Structure 1
Amino acid sequence: MTLRAIATLTVFTVWTLLLIPLQVLLIRTRSPLRRSLPHFYHRSLAWLLRVKIRRVGVPSAAAPTLFVCNHISWLDIVVLSAALPASFIAKHEVNDWPFFGLLARLQRTVFVERNNPRRTAEHRDEMRERLESGDNLILFPEGTSSDGLRIHNFKSAFFAAAEQPVRGRLLTVQPVSLGYSRLNHMPVGRRWMRFFAWVGDEDLLPHLWRFLKAGPSEAVVEFHQPVTMDAFASRKGMAAWCHQRVLEGLSDINAGRPPGRRSLPPAVAG
């Protein structure tokens, strides 16, 4: 297992260093491929890391779309970016991380100070600018990662971008459930969730190393009903509705129930 982990880490490093100059060039020339190369890159990483990705439902075809998803681990970035071409909204501290901060910038991540309410309007405007340019964005509205078994409340301030029209129409918001269902071909459950969930003060590299030695895994990504703000009385109502959809999806994934078969209630004002 250790030799395989070392080989995986070596290939990851070489492959990443080869693609970094290409993405820099694509960004500087504003090539449309700057949006698709990270998608290709993370699909290759999912294969390298032996993560099988099972998609349930259909991603919104509206351009742009704000995808809102629960957050469990650094691995979410690989899984979600492999599942759809989009950029992320991340906490400002990620920008300062060695190496991984560079990768986040190359994926054209929008960095926000989540604990600074005075900058909410500034971050909203930056998000709107990216959405107006046609970029899909992925938001983790919990504001932090969870243990993979439950979901923190969604912070309604992150839904501010959905309150005003983008490109002449209401912004499409699609809730997404992400869970890790199998490890070494066995159900994950509570016992093995620690191989995926990255919470607390644990350093990134030890968690990454433990995962690399663990074996093949499966991630499930469920796309729920897309909505727009006109179905709700406020962004707080939208945040609560999206939270419930994502929670239902994660509960099914963790329980081993077939996702996507429940009867989803329509969006209602709230």
Structure 2
Amino acid sequence: MNPRTYLATTRRIGLQLLADRRTVALILLVPTILLTLLYFLYKDVPVPAGQTRMFDRIAVNMLGVLPMLVMFLVTSVAMLRERSTGTLERLMTTPLRRGDLVAGYTTAFAVAAVVQSLILSAVTFWLLGVQVEGSVALVVLVAALDSIVGVSMGLLASAFARTEFQAVQFMPIVIGPQIFLCGLLLPREEMADWLYALSALMPMSYAVDALAEVRQHADLTASYGTAAAILLGFGLLAVALASATLRRRSG
């Protein structure tokens, strides 16, 4: 990877992203709005004595779901747009390498992902009053990693789509099963053995596992570290595969 072309690519993509107000709004505002809707949905649900609000548990878990979902959608469509408009084909005739392009996309969107995670976490804990046993910083870290994994998976998925519409169609295929099996709807330990094994192959499961550790334990646990490391590993693997499978054209 050439540092000069990598930085130039990152800058170009970052400026393009900032100029697209709808995409910026989708990244920064939509997850917050959805989480706020959930707050009002569970606001009047009775809380038994000695127990935490149901919304607190759901909100923390959603920090492992919403960032990945939104960043997957945005990144996959953005990369397909580069290819379908011919921009990618023109860039590949220059000294720009595949690794420079993928790394530039990953960096630019990862910055947006981190900002998204900070805003979403701030709204969750300081505006909606969600409480956890552990450090809020650990939650923010997982939310940021989760967003970055969504970016890398979006880049990978874009290699197998020919149009922006096809990129969107990958979302229920890639993200849908993860939402069902990550532990959001049912604890993974209570699933059938084959479903549990399948969930172990999905990065969102480790985001939810790590967030559960923060929600339940005041101190940093080994399980949290393991889940966060595996989540990061999924992201690095997806970036490597995206770079290897990158094509110039959508057709």
Tell me if both proteins adopt one fold, taking TM over 0.5 as the criterion. Answer: no
Greater strand content: 1
Structure 1 length-normalised TM: 0.27
Structure 2 length-normalised TM: 0.29
